[in-house]
């Protein structure tokens, strides 16, 4: 849930979320072979302004770039924004606490803007998320319900979000009875998945809802709830793009907690549209990570929150590969400042292998938070993150990493002091435009000049790797 009034912190809002386990099959994994460890080298000092086009020869080209929903327009006197967006056809759709907005992809014109409670037709709680399912040409919007006892799911009538969301479902039976927190959706060919942390069972165990997609598209809600090997906070389901076979869903997370570790967990789920799902857990050795402690801003050492970090929040699956990212500390500075950690994994029923792990590290004293990653059809990785330091207010960046390019650029420069430091945000997103398979669309937050009143801003940026 993680929603904060400017005057009252909801105690349950400080807790977090997500996912599943039964009949575990253990797969032994040795040291990863031929894994690339990479640092994304970034331009520094002085901080450039936001550009409509990246510097010539940088390898990164900025396309459309416009502001999304800000605090004053969010219909929610709360923190954090829970910034996320999806792209499909001619539209970009953004949700935050507690608002949905549909943009014309090319111009940035606002085509729909309404509170989530209006959109769903019933009170909405928090932690909204929007996806475009390129397998089914449908949009999905999820959120915790207003009473905090269930989940809401809206499914669009077709590939145009302005044609309405004809099927709206209230999922309550079997959910747990109290705060299905931090829900994250995903999909494959034949199912929609929502994972959350179940505070109703006293342990906040990650739990999963597997929803029959064919039924949901036709107006019938048919779902199964299961609980996996313990995982706290996010164990997000993959968005399995261009999945033509179904039968398997993937998840990538830390290995049980959001504090520290030297492995990441890849979970394979089968038989999910039943009461007897099967889970296979693979722990991949990675460079040690640990929750960071410090983030600075001009005029305030250590005054930007680092909560939450060390949690994956978005997973993409394309052509047999999973990619995900999280913010966490590294041993390079004694686990003090969060950096952006990202992973690329080859995943099949026969073999799971870590292909790449890397660090978005702008340098000493720079905190990197809210990272997300996706992969284009040429194998280039596209990133978004926000960062701050003693010389940089909270700023949104985008970047790219490939065989021939390593580039980064400001998407929305921070303009003022961040005063309300309970939670920085819960997640960001990046998604590949299905129309060309090459254009990344990033959604993240940043701080404007009026940090006492309009306390967070969001921004949408598209870019390609040249």
Measure the CA–CA gap between 45 and 56, rounded to whole angstroms. Answer: 18
Helices (H), 247-293: none
Indicate the helix (H) or strand (E) that contains 216: helix 213-217
Quote the tokens at residue 2.
């993680």
Range list of β-strands (E), 167-298: 167-171, 180-187, 191-198, 205-212, 223-226, 238-240, 249-254, 260-270, 278-290
Residues near 115 by Cβ (< 8 Å), separated by ≥ 6?
75, 98, 99, 100, 124
Quote the tokens at residue 366.
């720079």
Q: Are 418 and 460 within 8 A, CB to CB?
A: no
How far is it between the farthest Cα atoms of the chain?
57
Which residues in the chain land under pLDDT 50? 4-53
**pLDDT value for 192:** 98
CATH number at residue 432: 2.130.10.10
Q: List, in sequence order, every residue forming a beta bridge with 26; answer none if it has no partner.
A: 281
Q: Are 273 and 220 within 8 A, CB to CB?
A: no
Contacts of 152-161 with C-beta under 8 Å, sequence gap 24+, read: 152/120, 152/122, 152/124, 153/185, 153/192, 153/194, 153/211, 153/216, 154/119, 154/120, 155/216, 155/217, 159/88, 159/89, 160/89, 160/90, 160/91, 161/91, 161/93, 161/102, 161/112
What is the phi/psi pair of residue 160, to 5°? -105, 110
Measure the CA–CA gap between 198 and 333, rounded to whole angstroms. Answer: 35
Measure the CA–CA gap between 194 and 15, rounded to whole angstroms. Answer: 18
Quote the tokens at residue 417.
């002091």
Quote the tokens at residue 343.
């992973």
Range list of β-strands (E), 277-391: 278-290, 315-318, 321-328, 339-347, 352-360, 367-375, 381-389
Q: List, in sequence order, every residue forming a beta bridge with 206; answer none if it has no partner.
A: 197
**pLDDT value for 177:** 83
Measure the CA–CA gap between 33 and 46, rounded to whole angstroms. Answer: 39
Measure the CA–CA gap between 300 and 79, rounded to whole angstroms. Answer: 20
Kindly tell me the burial class for residue 54, based on how many C-beta atoms sit within 10 Å of its own C-beta (0-12, 13-18, 19 or more): buried
| Average per-residue pLDDT for the chain | 88
Measure the CA–CA gap between 261 and 457, rounded to whole angstroms. Answer: 32
Provide the domain limits for residue 448: 4-465
Q: Are 323 and 4 within 8 A, CB to CB?
A: no
Q: Are 367 and 389 within 8 A, CB to CB?
A: yes
**pLDDT value for 58:** 73
What is the CA angle 121-133-165, rounded to 5? Answer: 20
* 397-453 pLDDT, tens digit each: 999 999 888 999 999 999 999 998 889 999 999 999 999 999 999 999 999 999 889
Measure the CA–CA gap between 161 and 174, rounded to whole angstroms. Answer: 30
Q: Count the domains in the chain.
A: 1
Using the structure block, give the residue that is written with the tokens 């085509």: 111
Q: Are 211 and 192 within 8 A, CB to CB?
A: yes
**pLDDT value for 2:** 52
Quote the tokens at residue 415.
């303009």
CA-closest candidate to residue 408, choices 48, 35, 36: 48
Cα–Cα distances (Å) from 305 to 292, 309, 370, in that order, read: 10, 10, 12
Quote the tokens at residue 173.
């039976």
Indicate the helix (H) or strand (E) that contains 24: strand 24-26
Using the structure block, give the residue that is written with the tokens 């870590």: 354
**pLDDT value for 422:** 83
Residues of the chain with pLDDT > 70, as a percent, come to 88
Contacts of 120-126 with C-beta under 8 Å, sequence gap 24+, read: 120/152, 120/154, 120/168, 121/168, 122/146, 122/152, 122/170, 123/147, 124/98, 124/152, 125/1, 125/3, 126/1, 126/2, 126/3, 126/13, 126/76, 126/78, 126/82, 126/97, 126/98
**pLDDT value for 200:** 84
């Amino acid at each position: 849930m993680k929603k904060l009034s400017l005057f009252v912190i909801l105690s349950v809002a400080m807790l977090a979320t997500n996912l599943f386990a039964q009949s575990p099959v253990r797969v032994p994994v040795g040291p990863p072979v031929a894994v690339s460890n990479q640092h994304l080298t970034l331009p520094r000092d002085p901080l450039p302004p936001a550009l409509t086009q990246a510097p010539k020869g940088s390898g990164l080209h900025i396309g459309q770039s416009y502001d999304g929903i800000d605090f004053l327009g969010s219909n929610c006197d709360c923190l954090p924004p829970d910034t996320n967006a999806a792209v499909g056809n001619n539209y970009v759709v953004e949700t935050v606490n507690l608002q949905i907005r549909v943009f014309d992809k090319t111009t940035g014109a606002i085509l729909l803007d309404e509170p989530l409670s209006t959109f769903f037709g019933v009170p909405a709680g928090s932690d909204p998320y929007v996806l475009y399912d390129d397998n089914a040409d449908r949009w999905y919007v999820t959120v915790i319900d207003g009473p905090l006892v269930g989940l809401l799911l809206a499914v669009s009538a077709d590939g145009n979000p302005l044609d309405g969301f004809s099927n709206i479902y209230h999922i309550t039976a079997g959910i747990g009875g109290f705060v299905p927190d931090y829900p994250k959706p995903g999909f494959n060919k034949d199912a929609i998945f929502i994972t959350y942390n179940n505070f109703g069972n006293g342990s906040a165990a990650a739990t999963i809802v597997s929803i029959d997609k064919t039924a949901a598209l036709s107006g019938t809600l048919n779902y199964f709830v299961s609980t996996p090997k313990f995982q706290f906070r996010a164990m997000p389901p993959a968005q399995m793009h261009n999945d033509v076979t179904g039968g398997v869903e993937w998840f990538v997370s830390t290995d049980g907690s959001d504090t520290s570790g030297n492995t990441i967990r890849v979970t394979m789920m089968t038989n999910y549209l039943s009461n007897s799902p099967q889970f296979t857990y693979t722990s991949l050795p990675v460079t040690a990570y640990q929750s960071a402690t410090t983030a600075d801003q001009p005029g305030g050492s250590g005054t930007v929150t680092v909560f939450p970090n060390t949690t994956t929040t978005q997973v993409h699956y394309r052509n047999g590969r999973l990619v995900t990212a999280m913010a966490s500390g590294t041993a390079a500075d004694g686990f003090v400042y969060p950096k952006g950690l990202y992973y690329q994994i080859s995943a099949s029923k026969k073999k799971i292998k870590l292909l790449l792990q890397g660090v978005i590290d702008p340098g000493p004293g720079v905190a990197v938070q809210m990272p997300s990653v996706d992969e284009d059809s040429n194998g280039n990785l596209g990133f978004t993150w926000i960062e701050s330091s003693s010389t940089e207010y909270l700023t949104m960046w985008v970047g790219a990493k490939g065989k021939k390019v390593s580039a980064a650029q400001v998407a929305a420069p921070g303009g003022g002091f961040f005063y309300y430091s309970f939670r920085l945000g819960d997640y960001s997103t990046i998604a590949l435009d299905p129309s060309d398979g090459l254009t990344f669309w990033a959604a993240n937050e940043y701080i404007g000049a009026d940090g006492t009143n309009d306390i967070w801003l969001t921004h949408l940026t598209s870019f390609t790797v040249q």
